[in-house]
Amino acid sequence: MNRRVILASRPTGVAQAENFAIIDAPHEPLAPGQIRVRNRFLSVEPALRGWIADQVIYSAPVAIGSVMRALAVGDIIESQAEGWAVGETLCGWFGWQDEATVTPDAVLRRVAETDLSPSLALGVLGINGVTAYLALTGIGQPKAGEIVVVSTAAGGVGSAVGQIAALLGCRTVGIAGGPGKVAQCLDEFGYDAAIDYQSAGALGPALAAACPDGIDIYYDNTSGAISDAVFPMLNIGARVVICGTASIAQWDPWPQGPRVERHLLVKRARIQGFVVFDHLHAWTMAVDRLAQWVREGKLRYREDILEGLESCPDALAGLYRGENRGKRIIRI
Amino acid sequence: MNRRVILASRPTGVAQAENFAIIDAPHEPLAPGQIRVRNRFLSVEPALRGWIADQVIYSAPVAIGSVMRALAVGDIIESQAEGWAVGETLCGWFGWQDEATVTPDAVLRRVAETDLSPSLALGVLGINGVTAYLALTGIGQPKAGEIVVVSTAAGGVGSAVGQIAALLGCRTVGIAGGPGKVAQCLDEFGYDAAIDYQSAGALGPALAAACPDGIDIYYDNTSGAISDAVFPMLNIGARVVICGTASIAQWDPWPQGPRVERHLLVKRARIQGFVVFDHLHAWTMAVDRLAQWVREGKLRYREDILEGLESCPDALAGLYRGENRGKRIIRI
């Protein structure tokens, strides 16, 4: 039997454990063109909330009774598809289940870095790292000596952004919530400065002290008050990467904020949104670069690994309770 | 004697006639490396307000007692500078005066299109046209078949943007204030549709009716309520050119508006500010292209020509009273 975590009911807000159920499903027969993947690691990420919600932005919502959509890493244990050999490790849309029976279009990439833990394909060598690398380099276009400010600086994406920017010769300033995360920014992820937005009082003066020469790149994962403090400090020709809006709890009613047009005009600055799945063609190139930095010990990351499929139902809610201190992954 | 319009006192708000004075100055001796230009046309534009203001954004403020800074077109009548021949027509920072005694770094460009009125170098072949062309093509990057929305669509910049976008194969929708300007958009500047934001009631439904396939490029000269109606209609991969903020009367206190981050993220859209003086290297190329369209009758424009230097003092205030129906120029 194949154990599956299915969506049992549609949540309002963040899905809780009771919105999921674990069922035993019979093995499906393998049709021509299909492969069967035995999952080893399942991904848990904030975006799952959106994939479940009724009003879905980037893709169709997960149907009630269906296996929960998620990226996973696993090995091919059966193959009826040419070019896909038993034993190969893949990262793809294999869902929260022991085994996935899929066609190869569910595969995001072949995991070639066999010297590293395959779990990394869900974190620093997955969405988080690839987003950080492609958005920072593609939109941010960092040049050595520039000042890069990162919001949610200790998070999965932010921590990679800060380190990559430093590797490219930039000075990095992280914004994070609480002394623990600020310490992590400084001690673990190598930021040149870090600001606790929860204790900084007025964020503006703290930012001004940390960035006396202004800000060339703002990598924004939050929107909200943090962005409002950053925008007036942008330098001429600055670039702003919009990667997330974590500080905005809801968009109905639509939140107001200080208008950005004048900053953009006076500073000839640019803001641009980034969604990593638009950039599949560049994924392998990005992973190769990131993996090399990981091997050299230049790109650090944290994983938060839960054990067993039975950890799945509460894993997303736990993420929103702030339990994790690293990329949340389930090992099965 | 050389008649000059000097700044007599610093205005609060828009400079009125009484903030200027016309004086007779003696001819300055021509030093080595200098040229003397006899002005033929002087430019009047909204930006003059900023060049006078105490708090200046892009350049030092005009000093009390100094000749009013302005672009002008004139002919070299004396030259002590190698490569600058008497008789040549120039566009440059020659100020509101009969004659300018300057070094060649005051020259913006040599006016080579001798088959066209030199006054055009201050309008459709000057800041307005060059801004429209370079910002639309550089930031907007229009592709044939795309939908381009322009605010202040009948203005000096906007009317050129709409026509250039149409020449590049786009469908164009203009937003302007009042039935006269809307008619001008449709009859004179060839917009496919035009919306009167003063009478449209809710601008959103009018825009939705004019743009059933969404908006690929928004060329923004206004900010404010018009932009707030446009942003939710941006298509995936849309580009927004921030060229002006005409609808915002003041930035102290800083005005609020709906946050744009979510639109940018969901639509992977880009907003970027544009200031034409960053692009001097491309100026001649842009003028050559625009001049060809003017010759072919494909790029229309309006001029509002006042006669004589004595028109200068009230010319800027008149602009802000909305008197002009085209690029305001003073012929001397």
Domain with A23 in it: what CATH number? 3.90.180.10
> Which ipTM was obtained for this model?
0.91
Q: How many angstroms separate the CA atoms of B277 and B108, rounded?
A: 10
- B91/B216 same-domain check: no
Inter-CA distances, B220 with A40, B224, B243, B270, Å: 51, 10, 6, 13
Is residue B283 one of the residues assigned to a domain?
no
Q: Is the CB of A264 less than 8 angstroms away from the CB of B275?
A: no
Option in B251, B254, B275 nearest A268 (CB)? B275
- A48/A108 same-domain check: yes
Interface with B, mutate which of A141, A240, A261 (most B CBs under 10 A): A261
Each residue's pLDDT tens digit, A202-248: 899 999 999 999 999 999 999 999 999 999 999 999 999 999 998 88
Inter-CA distances, B286 with B28, B42, B109, B116, B220, Å: 35, 21, 12, 16, 20
- A142/A115 same-domain check: no
**Partner B, chain A 98-137, Cβ-Cβ below 8 Å:** none
Cα of B56 to nearest chain A Cα, Å: 11
Q: How many angstroms separate the CA atoms of A172 and A150, rounded?
A: 8
Give the confidence band of A266 by pLDDT, cuts at 50, 70, 90.
Answer: very high
- A273/A306 same-domain check: no
Q: How many angstroms separate the CA atoms of A50 and A56, rounded?
A: 6
Q: Which long-range contacts (CB under 8 A, 24 or more apart) does A243-247 make?
A: A243/A131, A243/A135, A243/A157, A243/A219, A243/A273, A243/A274, A243/B265, A244/A152, A244/A157, A244/A220, A244/B265, A245/B261, A245/B262, A245/B265, A246/A46, A246/A151, A246/A152, A246/A221, A246/A222, A247/A222, A247/A223
Q: Is the CB of A270 less than 8 angstroms away from the CB of B273?
A: yes
- A96/A83 same-domain check: yes
Is residue B286 one of the residues assigned to a domain?
no
Nearest to A154 by CA among A179, A174, A171: A174
**Partner B, chain A 208-237, Cβ-Cβ below 8 Å:** 220, 223, 227
∠ Cα B147 B275 B111 (to 5°): 95
**In this structure, what is the dihedral angle of CA atoms B258, B262, B265, B266, given to the nearest 10 degrees?**
-110
- A141/A257 same-domain check: yes
β-pairing verdict for B215-220 and B147-151:
parallel
Each residue's pLDDT tens digit, A289-326: 999 999 999 999 999 999 999 999 999 999 888 888 88
Q: Contact B263/B269 with Cβ under 8 angstroms?
A: yes
- B69/B141 same-domain check: no
- A231/A263 same-domain check: yes
β-pairing verdict for A270-273 and A234-242:
parallel
- A103/A144 same-domain check: no
In the prediction, which pLDDT does B191 show? 98
Option in B57, B223, B261 nearest A259 (CB)? B223
Partner residues linked to A329 by β-bridges: A43, A305
Whether B244 has its CB under 8 Å from any CB of chain A: the answer is: yes
Is residue A179 one of the residues assigned to a domain?
yes
Is residue A288 one of the residues assigned to a domain?
no
Collect the ranges in chain B with pLDDT lower than 50. none
Give the confidence band of A55 by pLDDT, cuts at 50, 70, 90.
Answer: low
Number of cross-chain residue pairs from A and B with Cβ atoms under 8 Å apart: 107
- B97/B146 same-domain check: no
A75, containing H or E segment: strand A72-79
Q: How many domains does chain B have?
A: 2
- A22/A99 same-domain check: yes
Q: Is the pTM of this model over 0.80?
A: yes
Three-state secondary-structure class, residue A72 = strand
The pLDDT mean for chain A works out to: 95
Structure tokens belonging to residue A69:
């959509």
Whether A259 has its CB under 8 Å from any CB of chain B: the answer is: yes
Range of the domain at B242: 128-277
Q: How many angstroms separate the CA atoms of B108 and B241, rounded?
A: 24
Q: Domain containing B220 — which CATH number?
A: 3.40.50.720
Each residue's pLDDT tens digit, A99-147: 999 999 999 999 999 999 999 999 999 999 999 999 999 999 999 999 9
- A219/A134 same-domain check: yes
